[in-house]
């Protein structure tokens, strides 16, 4: 999914992971996926999610990734991966071929975000997307100080960031509604921990489940 060789959300040294070695957002997504579900992971990185789902839940699946090193890492895990840019479309897959289509911390790096979301909902019965919440209070504070925000979820400077389309929680929900997609679940994290109160201001990451009407 990523449009350059630089990941939109790299695995930083200080990023907490669960007992299975997954990032917090990936661990949460894995909990939403039923055993045996057919999974497509767009911008799958090193294949950690697909590897976990295959081992722990018997889920068959494919990853799509553009970065050379990440594709090799997937192959090393035994994950089925297709090297390519999914912004060119998902025509290689059939309608509703997958039970779940995932895009974790990569949607903000796409040029054709609407098209990607439509394609996801066409090949999957349900979709899951995680992204950095640009509405977090620290980002607002940074802008008030005249600076573009730099955080663990968005660690790049303004001049070298791969992130193209940053969104707040209401922004993303509005886009889903405009595309005829219905939110079926949502969760929010800050430093890997669940956020239940005032997520629009306090959450650093958002994870949404959605499907076609």
What CATH number does residue 42 fall under?
A: 3.40.50.150
Token pair belonging to 195: 């956020």
Integer Cα distance of 73 and 81 in angstroms? 10
Answer yes or no: is 174 within a domain.
yes
Provide the number of structural domains found in the chain: 1
Answer yes or no: is 136 within a domain.
yes
The tens place of each residue's pLDDT in the chain, 213 residues long, gives 444 434 444 443 334 455 468 999 999 999 999 999 999 999 999 999 999 999 999 999 999 999 999 999 999 999 999 999 988 889 999 999 999 999 999 888 788 999 999 999 999 999 999 999 987 655 676 666 777 667 667 666 756 665 566 789 999 999 999 999 999 999 999 989 999 999 988 999 999 999 998
Answer yes or no: is 107 within a domain.
yes
Answer yes or no: is 15 within a domain.
no
Answer yes or no: is 17 within a domain.
no
Answer yes or no: is 160 within a domain.
yes
The whole-model pTM stands at 0.84
Answer yes or no: is 77 within a domain.
yes
Integer Cα distance of 42 and 68 in angstroms? 15
- Residue 117 belongs to what domain range? 24-212
Answer yes or no: is 19 within a domain.
no
């Amino acid at each position: 999914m990523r449009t350059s060789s630089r990941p939109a959300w790299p695995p930083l040294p200080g990023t907490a992971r669960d007992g299975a070695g997954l990032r917090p957002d990936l661990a949460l997504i894995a909990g939403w996926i039923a055993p045996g579900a057919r999974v497509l992971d767009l911008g799958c990185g090193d294949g950690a999610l697909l590897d976990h789902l295959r081992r722990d839940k018997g889920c068959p699946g494919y990853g799509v990734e553009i970065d050379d090193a990440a594709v090799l890492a997937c192959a090393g895990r035994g994950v089925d991966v297709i090297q390519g840019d999914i912004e060119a479309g998902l025509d290689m897959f059939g309608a509703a071929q997958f039970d779940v289509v995932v895009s974790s911390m990569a949607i903000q790096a796409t040029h054709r975000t609407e098209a990607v979301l439509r394609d996801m909902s066409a090949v999957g019965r349900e979709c899951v997307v995680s992204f950095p919440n640009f509405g977090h209070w620290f980002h607002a504070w940074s802008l008030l100080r005249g600076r573009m925000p730099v955080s663990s979820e968005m660690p790049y400077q303004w001049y070298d960031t791969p992130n193209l389309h940053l969104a707040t929680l209401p922004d993303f929900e509005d886009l889903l509604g405009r595309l005829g997609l219905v939110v079926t679940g949502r969760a929010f994290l800050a430093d890997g921990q669940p956020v239940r109160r005032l997520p629009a201001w306090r959450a650093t990451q958002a994870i949404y489940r959605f499907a076609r009407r």
